[in-house]
Structure 1
Amino acid sequence: MTDFWKRFSKHRGAVAGLLILFAIILLAVLAPVLFPTSPWAMVQRPFMPPFQNGEFFLGTDTMGRNLASGVAHGAYISLLVGLVSTVVSLMIGIPIGAIAGYFGGFVDDALMRFTELFQSVPSFALAVVLVAIFQPSITSIVIAIAIVSWPPVARLLRGEVMSLKSRDFVDAAILSGQKPATVIMRQILPNTLSPIIVLASMMVAAAILVESALSFMGLGDANIMSWGYIIGAGRTVIRQAWWVSFFPGVLILLTVLALNLVGEGLNDALNPRLSRKGK
């Protein structure tokens, strides 16, 4: 762990990204304390510009709601969507990639053709269609993002498993009588954690962007306050009240940037080849 942190801390951008991410997570956790009033409550006149009132320092939106409260409470939903959809994507992609890479042959061909079927359609277009079919809700958004996000996971894990299954420790496990499922779970998958963790950090960032884009198009959950919902609600009045879309947009930008920087730092710290070069 000490060596990992030393390698990670050498990447200044990754450390900065980690601090930004920690601040945004803290904002999401403390939102009910900082803004106890519901973000849906109308508390002032509509379109109040930012920095004119200390209590509503980010101004108000089209309905007179406190924009700062909406942004703070929306952080939790946006981060939750990104995290849950990524976990679901990993749960789909990891088994498919592991089975395809380990068994090869017909099984590999069948699973990879199945994966290519999903990759043949632009991911965002497929997400739009899925959300429209299942009706816009937080659940349908998470499912749609997960469905369009798992193919890269499967392809990455397939390549990793194919490179690991010929190693001596895997051969020893097979000769000792371990079943394929046991070999995959105990011998191979633990050695693929590094690239999976790096990819997962990037996937969370991509999921937040997709949720925001869906909400911007009017396909978000109208009952859930998220950054994408706020931007979508302010898109029709962007000339009159630029701040409604600007502040949640900045937070999305910072979150995605932070996650990508952390992903680069994790790649440098977890990649053994890069670690040897650093030494």
Structure 2
Amino acid sequence: MRSFIGRYPRMAIGTLIILAVISMAVAAPILFPFSPWEMRGAPFEPPGSPGFILGSDALGRDIAAGLAHGAWVSLLIGGVSTLASLGIGIGLGALAGYVGGRVDDAVMRFAEFFQTIPSFLLAILLVAIFRPSMFSIITAIALVSWPPVARVVRAEFLSLRTREFVQAAEVLGVSHFRVVWQTLLPNALPPVIVLGSLMVANAVLTESALSFLGLGDANWMSWGFLVGSGRSVIRIGWWISVLPGVAIVVTVLGLNLLGEGLQTWLNPRLSKRDMP
């Protein structure tokens, strides 16, 4: 274990950060068995006040409860939207890379159409059209995040398509579905796994930005909402915006470190270079 941590310190640090955030999200209903929207006391209580470990906001709501419950929302939206975008990107990328020809051109032009529009502006437009909700936010983030996945999978399939083991499977009469599912896809997954961890970080940032702009789900507490709610009173209660902002930064940092560590671990060349 120590040798593994020594060889992959970024992965170890990132994993510890993410495990801490997950633990906070899981323990939120136990540590704070009340709604984070509930007014619990006087407004603008500073951190360390009786009953308010991290202070209260302008309406007397507990900031610590908001952070704990908001962690669950951020991780849920980040994880589900990333899985959805990975499903779309892997499917279209595999289709383009394996079939090729006009199908490849059509899929890539479709991906370029999404990439010509700034992803955050498109996410704002989609959420505004379908009304702010957990489902619309997840759908919007998934729809703007899949093109890079499709390009990576397509490139991997084009590289693997001419390998001897793939050609041997086709000569033996293995069906196209089995060639794609059992032969090509497992060999194309390592870069997708790394990209997926980074996409979760981007999804957390996007959800926080949408909530900051007032496009979050009004039924769920989120870190972006806390940052936005405290921006107008930051001189009086700096902790209302700063503490959830720090939570966002630390979570995104942990996900990025985890992604970089996975890239080193899954890439044999990088692993050998990092060995002492």
Shorter-chain TM-score tier:
over 0.9
Matched, 1:127 2:123: yes
Ranges in structure 1 where 5+ consecutive residues have no aligned partner = none
Q: CA deviation at 1:226?
A: 1.2
Structure 1 Cα separation of the partners of residues 4 and 161 of structure 2: 28
Name 2:177's counterpart in structure 1.
Answer: 181
Report the Cα distance in structure 1 between the residues aligned to 2:247 and 2:14, rounded to whole angstroms: 13
**Contact 1:43 1:65 (C-alpha < 8 Å) held by counterparts:** yes
- For residues 183-227 of structure 1, the C-alpha deviation after alignment (integer angstroms, 9 at most, x for no partner) is 111100011121111000000000000000011111111111111
Aligned sequence identity (%): 57
Give the superposition deviation at 1:40: 1.5
User: Structure 1 residue 13 and structure 2 residue 3: aligned?
Assistant: no
The yes-or-no answer on 1:41 pairing with 2:38 is: yes
CA-to-partner distance for each residue in 1:90-122, whole Å, 9 max, x for gaps? 110001001101111111111000000000000
Q: Give SS of 2:46's match.
A: coil
- Is residue 216–residue 235 contact of structure 1 (8 Å, CA) maintained in 2? no
Asked whether the equivalents of residues 222 and 229 of structure 1 are also in contact (C-alpha less than 8 Å), the reply is no
1:148 corresponds to 2:144? yes
Task: Return the alpha-carbon distance in structure 2 between the equivalents of residues 164 and 135 of structure 1.
Answer: 43
Could you tell me how far 1:72 is from its partner in structure 2? 0.5
State TM-score, norm by structure 1. Answer: 0.95
2:102 is the alignment partner of 1:102: no
Residue 232 (structure 2) pairs with residue 236 (structure 1): yes
Instruction: Select which of 3, 21, 25 maps to 2:22.
Output: 25
Output aligned runs, 1:265-276, within 5 Å.
Answer: 265-276=261-272
1: CA distance, partners of 2:263 / 2:35: 40
1:115 to 101, 111, 114: 111
The question of whether the paired residues in 2 share the 8 Å contact of 1:97 and 1:157 is answered with yes
TM-score relative to the length of structure 2: 0.96
* CA distance 1:119–1:18, shift in 2 (3 Å): same
CA contact under 8 A between 2:15 and 2:258: conserved in structure 1? yes
**Structure 1 stretches of at least 4 aligned residues deviating more than 4 Å after TM superposition:** 5-9
On the 8 A contact 1:7/1:269 being kept in 2, the answer is no
Tell me if structure 1 keeps the 8 A contact 2:7–2:274: no
Give the number of aligned pairs.
275
Consecutive unaligned residues of structure 2, counting only runs of 5 or more, are none
C-alpha distance in 2 between matches for 1:221 and 1:229: 9
1:206 alignment partner in structure 2: 202
Q: Please name the residue that 1:161 is paired with.
A: 157
Cα distance, 1:9 vs structure 2: 4.5
